Chain A
Amino acid sequence: MLKYVFKRILAMIPVLFIISIVIFGTVKAMPGDEVTAYFGAGSKVTQEQRDHVRELLGLDKSLPEQYVRWVGRMCTGDLGSSITLKKPVGTIIGDYVWNTFYLNVVSLIVALIFAIPVGIKQAVKKGSVFDNFWTVFSLLGISVPTFFFALVLIFFIGLNIPGMPINGMRDTMLSSFGYSSIFQEIGDIALHSILPVIVLAFSSFASFSRYVRNSMVEVINMDYVRTARSKGLKEKTVIYKHAFKNAQIPLVTLLGLYIPSLFSGAVILESVFIWPGIGKVLIDAINQRDNSLVMACLMFSALLMLLGNLLSDICYTLVDPRIKVDE
């Protein structure tokens, strides 16, 4: 198993290498001058100062040279520093990624708590009113632009409930003066999470419940389910233990693929809720031409994608006893 993982990680290196070229090229192709971004638009600086910064950022070198320097520094763990936030990029990602992670994990858990039982019951009662209702409901979930749903929630609910925060992760007043206790802080964050969690959980619920339903429909008429029934087991045991245990194999694969997006986050949604996460950092960085931050965020997401694929394959071998990785 270890050997397999090692091999897979080794195979990732050339892929990552090419991705890094694509990302570097894309970012360098973005119009706008990094030096201007460094000083902030409209500030008066002399040509000498500009040249100095240009040299400092290494922008006076040729593109291939810049690329090599970037990759070289990345390999030593130095991601460069953000020219707008004036902080090392690594620190920025480290700070914001947990906000994203928190939001996504809570939403995922909420989504799964509802999606698994609903999907299973849909499959058991395939074609019933219950099934049709939830099919339409989850179809709505995958068809609605998430940011539109967020806007509608804010407009109809957020604005009409006094004291309901509609953006940010913490109350500005409270966080700048300091919380009186840890519980106040937790409560404040929880309150701010309500709307974003509803939106994210709704869309994850939609895809997971559809997935659970479809994989349950596949297994529910299998011979072994009939055998389980013929043993006199309770219907609940038949469905949850015998059928779902088989149906969860593809589900686990999906979950594995889902884990990286817990870190890279819902880009557009974070900027609607002004949630201080990686997605919002990326959008801001793109808008402000903070190139090293953009490149780092993109590389981070790409690495997560690759790891997610690996993770889902590993999960698969763990859940399904029929698959053994020996080589």
Chain B
Amino acid sequence: MSVNKKVIKVEDLRVYFHTKKGDSKAVDGNHFTMYENETLAIVGESGCGKSVTAMSILGLVSEPGEIMPGSQIVYMGNVDRDEDGLNLATATDEQIRHIRGNEISMIFQEPMSSLNPVITVGDQIMENILTHEEVSKEEAKQRAIELLSEVGISRPEKVVDNYPFQLSGGMCQRVMIAMALSCHPKLLIADEPTTALDVTIQAQILSLMNKLKNETGTSIMLITHDLGVVAQVADNVNVMYAGKVVETAPVEELFSNPKHPYTIGLMNSMPSLAEEGKRLNTIEGSVPNPLYLPKGCYFADRCPYVTDRCKEGQPVDTKIKSRHHVWCFKVEEEMKQEG
């Protein structure tokens, strides 16, 4: 795994929304690294800053949100192994526009409303190709048709002239994927791509994404709150809570050996067919308001193992093993005792 090249490295990412009542810290010191040909899932409850993290990579955070100075989103997909990449947090509009849709592309939660209702599907795909590549309109249209058939749309030469309202939600998401992949991006960000879809369609879309990843080598950043989805497609997982990563690990490691109390809580609240007759566990309480974040560990209020130390300061990085890191005082102490 480590032979793979880095695609993007995010460090100390802080995104604050400046509201009348004060700064709302949507993302507060997020960090992760993604490698080529890998799927990273970002998991967490709604409002924990998953989507804002994704948006900030493409510079799509809109007013009153701001990517705070000091944040680093270094994109390295288009440079050689040891060279410095481009910091997207400080890049010019021109530089970011060149990246968007070309090097990094994105698909969204609501496929129906994410496609422009008054422009044909084909035109919307062609637009992406024509923006980033020097090709003729006919070639672009041909590519659009090929892309549509690659994402499993039957009769693509007909669908290409359809408007989004003539397609189903699942088809719209396939179109979004075709559009996102049209310029062979190095990184595909999928923001809850299956949440708005039926369960059967969900599985189809996920396996499509997996297949395309294996064929093209595109890295996928998958944002979801659904651990079932994570288990199906992810290679690595970041668990986020209140704007911060609390645990990061390869997927098998996370499921077999979860460390952070929040991760454990999430696992226990996941319905499973195997354990019949058992009541589902819940995590009491709710995510703290990002306007009024506590001084200590953000999870302290809901944590069953809370100590005084948890309420005093922020936990630090604790390495469990290679690529498995946890931010929790309890785990830190356990590790110290062990060795």
A residues apposed to B, CB below 8 Å: 221-224, 226-235, 241-242, 245-246, 249, 319-322
B105 A227 Cβ-Cβ under 8 A: no
B48-82 CB mask vs A (1 if < 8 Å, else 0) is: 00000000001010100000000000000000000
Closest 7 pairs between A and B when the two form their complex, measured CB to CB: A232-B100, A231-B101, A232-B101, A223-B113, A224-B116, A223-B114, A230-B106
B residues apposed to A, CB below 8 Å: 58, 60, 62, 93, 96-102, 105-106, 108, 110, 113-119, 127-128, 131-132, 163, 165, 176, 179
Enumerate 16 A-B pairs (CB-CB under 8 Å) in ascending A order. Answer: A221-B62, A223-B113, A224-B113, A224-B114, A226-B108, A230-B60, A230-B101, A231-B127, A232-B98, A232-B101, A232-B132, A233-B97, A242-B116, A246-B118, A249-B118, A321-B165
Report the minimal beta-carbon distance from A265 to chain B, rounded to whole angstroms: 33
Complex Cα distance A322/B164, Å? 9
B100 surroundings in chain A (CB, below 8 A): 229-232
B105 A223 Cβ-Cβ under 8 A: no
B114 A322 Cβ-Cβ under 8 A: no
Residue from the list A221, A232, A242, A249 in contact with B119, Cβ < 8 A: A242
Report the minimal beta-carbon distance from B86 to chain A, rounded to whole angstroms: 14
Complex Cα distance A228/B99, Å? 13
4 extra interface residue pairs, beta carbon distance < 8 Å, beyond A227-B116, A242-B119: A231-B100, A232-B131, A245-B116, A246-B117
Question: B103 — nearest CB in chain A belongs to which residue?
Answer: A232
B118 surroundings in chain A (CB, below 8 A): 245-246, 249, 319-322
B113 surroundings in chain A (CB, below 8 A): 222-224
Question: B96 — nearest CB in chain A belongs to which residue?
Answer: A232
B102 surroundings in chain A (CB, below 8 A): 232
Complex Cα distance A226/B65, Å? 15
A322 surroundings in chain B (CB, below 8 A): 117-118, 163, 165
Complex Cα distance A233/B128, Å? 8
Complex Cα distance A320/B127, Å? 20
A229 surroundings in chain B (CB, below 8 A): 60, 100
Report the minimal beta-carbon distance from A243 to chain B, rounded to whole angstroms: 9
B127 A223 Cβ-Cβ under 8 A: no
Complex Cα distance A224/B97, Å? 17
A234 B97 Cβ-Cβ under 8 A: yes
Report the minimal beta-carbon distance from A172 to chain B, rounded to whole angstroms: 51
Give the tally of cross-chain contacts (CB within 8 A): 72
A233 surroundings in chain B (CB, below 8 A): 97, 101, 127, 131
A227 B114 Cβ-Cβ under 8 A: yes
B165 surroundings in chain A (CB, below 8 A): 321-322
Question: B100 — nearest CB in chain A belongs to which residue?
Answer: A232
B105 A231 Cβ-Cβ under 8 A: yes
B119 surroundings in chain A (CB, below 8 A): 241-242, 245
A228 surroundings in chain B (CB, below 8 A): 116
Complex Cα distance A19/B163, Å? 42
Complex Cα distance A270/B47, Å? 60
Question: A246 — nearest CB in chain B belongs to which residue?
Answer: B118
Question: B110 — nearest CB in chain A belongs to which residue?
Answer: A223
A223 surroundings in chain B (CB, below 8 A): 108, 110, 113-114
Complex Cα distance A287/B106, Å? 68
B179 surroundings in chain A (CB, below 8 A): 231
Q: Residue among A230, A249, A322 with the most chain B CB within 10 A?
A: A230
A246 surroundings in chain B (CB, below 8 A): 116-118
Complex Cα distance A50/B136, Å? 80
Complex Cα distance A47/B206, Å? 97
Complex Cα distance A322/B113, Å? 13
Complex Cα distance A18/B84, Å? 79
Complex Cα distance A224/B165, Å? 13
B131 surroundings in chain A (CB, below 8 A): 231-233
B62 surroundings in chain A (CB, below 8 A): 221
B108 surroundings in chain A (CB, below 8 A): 223, 226-227
B98 surroundings in chain A (CB, below 8 A): 232
A224 surroundings in chain B (CB, below 8 A): 113-117
B99 surroundings in chain A (CB, below 8 A): 232
A234 surroundings in chain B (CB, below 8 A): 97
Question: A323 — nearest CB in chain B belongs to which residue?
Answer: B165
B115 A227 Cβ-Cβ under 8 A: yes
A321 B114 Cβ-Cβ under 8 A: no
Q: Residue among A226, A246, A319, A320 with the most chain B CB within 10 A?
A: A226
Complex Cα distance A233/B102, Å? 11
A235 surroundings in chain B (CB, below 8 A): 93
Complex Cα distance A221/B113, Å? 11
A230 and B105 in contact, given A224-B116, A246-B118, A322-B163 (Cβ under 8 angstroms): yes
Q: Residue among A223, A234, A246, A319 with the most chain B CB within 10 A?
A: A223
A221 surroundings in chain B (CB, below 8 A): 62
Report the minimal beta-carbon distance from B184 to chain A, rounded to whole angstroms: 14
Complex Cα distance A234/B114, Å? 18
Complex Cα distance A320/B119, Å? 10
Complex Cα distance A241/B163, Å? 16
B106 surroundings in chain A (CB, below 8 A): 227, 230
Report the minimal beta-carbon distance from A315 to chain B, rounded to whole angstroms: 14
Report the minimal beta-carbon distance from A228 to chain B, rounded to whole angstroms: 7
Question: B165 — nearest CB in chain A belongs to which residue?
Answer: A322
Complex Cα distance A18/B63, Å? 55
Question: B98 — nearest CB in chain A belongs to which residue?
Answer: A232
Complex Cα distance A224/B176, Å? 11
B60 A226 Cβ-Cβ under 8 A: yes
Report the minimal beta-carbon distance from A231 to chain B, rounded to whole angstroms: 4
A226 B114 Cβ-Cβ under 8 A: yes
B132 surroundings in chain A (CB, below 8 A): 232
Report the minimal beta-carbon distance from A323 to chain B, rounded to whole angstroms: 10
B117 surroundings in chain A (CB, below 8 A): 224, 246, 321-322
Report the minimal beta-carbon distance from B28 to chain A, rounded to whole angstroms: 23
